[in-house]
Amino acid sequence: MKQTLAFALSGILGAAAATSIAGTVAPEIVSPALETTNGLEDAIRPMTNPTLFDLAVPTTNIHAIAMYHKLPNYVNTTIGGVPMGGHVEVYALQAELAFNERFSLVATKDGYVRVRPDTQPLWSQESGFANIAAGAKYAFIYDPENAFALSGTATFEVPTGNHDVFQGEGDGAINLILSTVKVWDKFQVAAGAGAHLEFSDQLSDSSFVSVHASYEVTPWFIPLVELNWFHVLSTGDGRFNYFDQAGGAVPAVATFEGNDLLNFGASNASQNRDLVTAAIGFRSHLCKDVDLGLAYELPLTDANDGIIEDRWTLDLVWKF
């Protein structure tokens, strides 16, 4: 009898235990989330050649630019040395709107130009608006873990500017650009290459290659060096134009082109197809989303075979 009772009790306890276990869920072991790093988050924008040389990473930002461009005392032309001197001021505001980490819309050229030559009345003091250029950027490779990006940009330039400052001519143009950036901790390199192709034969076609290197000593001081090479692919038709400057003769007698700032349509630009410039400067992270930059640029080719004696560029980049 006792043995039967013991078996009954053990059966009841076993059933209760089984019922208790069946209603219990085993605790899930949660492993800590792995932290992912974005090595491109603090990549900085290049300073020089600003309408063509951009950061390969699509971001949403506003980019304000002020430029003081000193003109050579004289320039070489088909009729000999022509006096010039003075300076050009440029004030511009670029913008970019990123829809995701790979695609953005960009506005790369606009602004207000002031030409202030020393040799009047041959050259005239004029002010006016630059052409407008805008388009899209797409990152073919976006690898934040390895801090590398490769992107392509296409922008269209519309001749909306003023003739007084060598703008507003032709039927428009397209800029096709490939850019890349790589970051190793505090060291960054970037490069860009592309072509500016006019829709008419009136103005010149050109290409460019730009490179950038920088090192973050502190967030407040990021020294940088940059090189730019501009090359005339095909010359313009050389017809007289921009009549407020040198009687309109610039396209007919100039033996060079305006490169990143201007397009004369010079028919003799094949005599000096290349302009190479070098720049030194720095960027400073004023806060997480705002950078200030300053760069000094000068030509490595003969200054009298172009329109640049030297150039100062001051800019502010606000990401949001």
pLDDT band at 35 (very low <50, low <70, confident <90, very high): low
pTM to 2 decimals?
0.87
Q: Average pLDDT, stretch 267-295?
A: 97
pLDDT of residue 36: 57
Evaluate whether 255 touches 232 at the Cβ level (below 8 Å). no
188-203 pLDDT tens trace: 999 999 999 999 999 9
The whole-number pLDDT of residue 10 equals 40
The pLDDT assigned to 39 comes to 85
Tell me which residue has tokens 């004289």.
74
Alpha-carbon gap, residue 164 to 217, rounded angstroms: 43
Q: If you average pLDDT over every residue of the chain, what do you get?
A: 90
pLDDT value at 9 more than 90: no
* Average pLDDT rounded to a whole number, residues 154-158: 98
**C-beta atoms surrounding 173 within 10 Å:** 23
Query: What's the gap between Cα 296 and its chain centre?
Result: 17
pLDDT tens by residue, 103-119: 999 999 999 999 999 99
Domains of the chain (ranges plus CATH)?
Answer: 61-319 (2.40.160.40)
pLDDT mean over 41-50: 96
Which is higher by pLDDT, 297 or 6?
297
Which residue type sits at 285? H
Length of the chain: 320
